[in-house]
């Protein structure tokens, strides 16, 4: 298969947007950890600790997504350089490696998405526990019919 300089260049807009999305995701998760930490310090809630543990896992995955995505972009630039220098075979292999890196990065993104559902379960479990407690207190507060 012959590729030209424009072939790897086609990935730049997609990779740039993908890395921007990953960075935004990382910042949102980091901000969430920063808001949960003081809550945990004041309440020592196991639910909040569970959320923090979940967020830490997700932060590591997002960081790795960024690293692999940057590696993929680096590979595209290297591929273009190799093609410019007339090293077609090496450029083709590097481009293939860049595509593989992009696939790995997207796979990690899917994994992070699955883990994010666990975080929502933690938040909902708090809500469910509070609602159960409210119902119990309402029942206890009702006057008994004798």
Identify the burial level of 94 via C-beta atoms within 10 angstroms of its C-beta, where 0-12 means exposed, 13-18 middle and 19 or more buried: buried
**Total residue count of the chain as it appears in this document:** 146
pLDDT tens string 49-103: 888 888 999 999 999 999 999 999 999 999 999 999 999 999 999 999 999 999 9
- Residues 60 and 29 sit within 8 Å (Cβ to Cβ): no
Extents of the domains making up the chain? 6-141
Other CB atoms closer than 10 Å to residue 114's CB: what's the count? 8
Identify the burial level of 35 via C-beta atoms within 10 angstroms of its C-beta, where 0-12 means exposed, 13-18 middle and 19 or more buried: exposed
pTM for this entry: 0.76
- Residues 112 and 57 sit within 8 Å (Cβ to Cβ): no
Predicted local distance difference test score (pLDDT) of residue 135: 77
Predicted local distance difference test score (pLDDT) of residue 138: 78
Other CB atoms closer than 10 Å to residue 21's CB: what's the count? 14
């Amino acid at each position: 298969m012959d590729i030209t300089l424009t072939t790897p260049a086609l990935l730049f807009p997609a990779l740039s947007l993908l890395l921007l999305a990953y960075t935004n995701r990382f910042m949102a998760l980091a901000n969430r950890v920063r808001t949960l930490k003081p809550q945990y310090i004041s309440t020592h809630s196991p639910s909040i600790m569970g959320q923090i543990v979940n967020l830490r896992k997700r932060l590591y995955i997002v960081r790795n997504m960024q690293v692999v995505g940057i590696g993929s972009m680096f590979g595209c630039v290297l591929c273009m350089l190799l093609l410019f220098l007339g090293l077609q075979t090496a450029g083709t292999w590097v481009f293939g490696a860049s595509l593989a890196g992009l696939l790995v990065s997207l796979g990690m993104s899917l994994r992070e998405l699955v883990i994010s559902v666990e975080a929502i379960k933690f938040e909902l479990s708090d809500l469910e526990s509070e609602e159960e407690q409210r119902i119990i207190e309402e029942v206890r507060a009702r006057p008994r019919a004798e």
